[in-house]
Amino acid sequence: MTSVQPQWKIWVATTRPKTLFAALAPVLMGAAMAWERAGTLNWAIFWLTLATATAIQIGTNFCNDVFDHRQGADTEARQGPRRGLQSGQISFRAMVAVTVMTFGLAAGLSVRLFLHGGAPIFWIATASILSGIFYTAGRRSLAYTGMADLFVIIFFGPVATAGTYYLQFPGPWPPPEVLLVGLGPGLIATALLTVNNLRDLEEDRSNRKHTLAVRFGASFARAEYRVCLTLALLLPPLMAVLTNRSWTVLLLLVLAPRAVRLMRRVQSGNTGPELNPVLGATGKMLLQYAVLFSLTWPAAGALCMI
């Protein structure tokens, strides 16, 4: 007899927990750079920033389910984990309602950040929420035209990192190194998207979802994955040189062997469900990257002052 999952577990799975690392990572890194500058944080603003970023990510995931289902992109041939809406465990009406509520929550949280940080935060929050909606809304959306990769690099990278830093020091825009550091989580988040698109390549092609993997083929997607992880790991030594910091930042290179193993698994030619473990492992690597940076960047700054 097939066991029936509790409704709350279905909803938790629908948030796609492993993708939430993409929202958490740049916030952690932006906060670490702010901590290094001031020796403390406005903790209320930090937690509010983290909550807002998470709400936007969950809203985007819910919206993705709604529009992929509506446009016929989620079928029985789906290669990834079954979704609540696709499997009939969540009704379309309930999915739409919760999507609206989640983006409404994100907008409400953003108001407090706007009152603290001013106009730049208003525009960042507005662009982030609208991008989350139009990520899959319509056949000309980011995901359906191959523009999603650029969106992920920008919004899950420099925008989120610099926005977090700015909220700790409203006024002058963050220094260039904050934007450069932000490329790291943006690149790994793009690698996460790339392996997802590689897994779903045939399904997306049949549904006219023109991701970069569909437009340029599996070889391009595998190369994109390698480039994203490689560039992300090269950023720590580059930052150490450009900012004349202690080389403790290079501790992030302990992730290099894991990155190489993941690249080999992607390069092996596997497609479909075989790539699901790589997807999860890439998400974990993104979180590890952010945590290691958050521990080593403030330490590097302290050592430089000795």
- List, in sequence order, the alpha helices (H) in 71-199: 84-87, 92-117, 119-133, 142-145, 148-154, 160-168, 176-199
Residue 46: in which H helix or E strand, if any?
helix 43-70
Q: What is the pLDDT of residue 1?
A: 41
DSSP 205-238: HHTT---HHHHH-HHHHHHHHHHHHHHHHHHHHH
What is the reported pLDDT for 300?
55
Residue 15 three-state SS: coil
In angstroms, the CA 284 to CA 114 distance is 31
Cα–Cα distances (Å) from 87 to 51, 69, 82, 196, 209, in that order, read: 29, 10, 7, 19, 20
Domains annotated for the chain, with CATH where assigned, are 9-300 (1.10.600)
With contact defined as beta carbons under 8 Å apart, do 112 and 48 qualify? yes
CA–CA gap between residue 131 and residue 133 (Å, rounded) = 5
DSSP state of 82: P
CB distance 143 to 135 below 8 Å: yes
C-beta atoms surrounding 174 within 10 Å? 22
Q: What is the DSSP letter of 270?
A: -
Separation of alpha carbons 41 and 43, rounded Å:
5
Q: What is the distance between the alpha carbons of residues 45 and 244, in angstroms, rounded to a whole number?
A: 30
d(CA 200, CA 181): 30
CB atoms within 10 A of CB 97: 12
> What does the alpha-carbon distance between residue 67 and residue 175 come to, in Å, rounded to a whole number?
38
Kindly provide the b/e burial profile for residues 119-143, where b requires at least 16 CB atoms within 10 angstroms of the residue's own CB: ebbeebbeebbebbbbbbbeeebbb
pLDDT by 10s per residue, the chain, length 306:
445 678 878 888 888 888 899 999 999 999 999 998 888 899 999 999 999 999 999 999 998 888 887 776 555 555 555 667 766 788 888 889 999 999 999 999 999 999 999 999 999 999 999 999 988 887 788 888 889 999 999 999 999 999 999 999 988 888 888 999 999 999 999 999 999 999 888 888 888 888 999 999 999 999 999 999 999 999 888 887 887 766 777 888 899 999 999 999 999 877 778 888 999 899 999 999 999 999 888 765 544 444
* Residues 221/201, Cβ–Cβ less than 8 Å: yes
Q: How far apart are the first and last CA of the chain?
A: 66
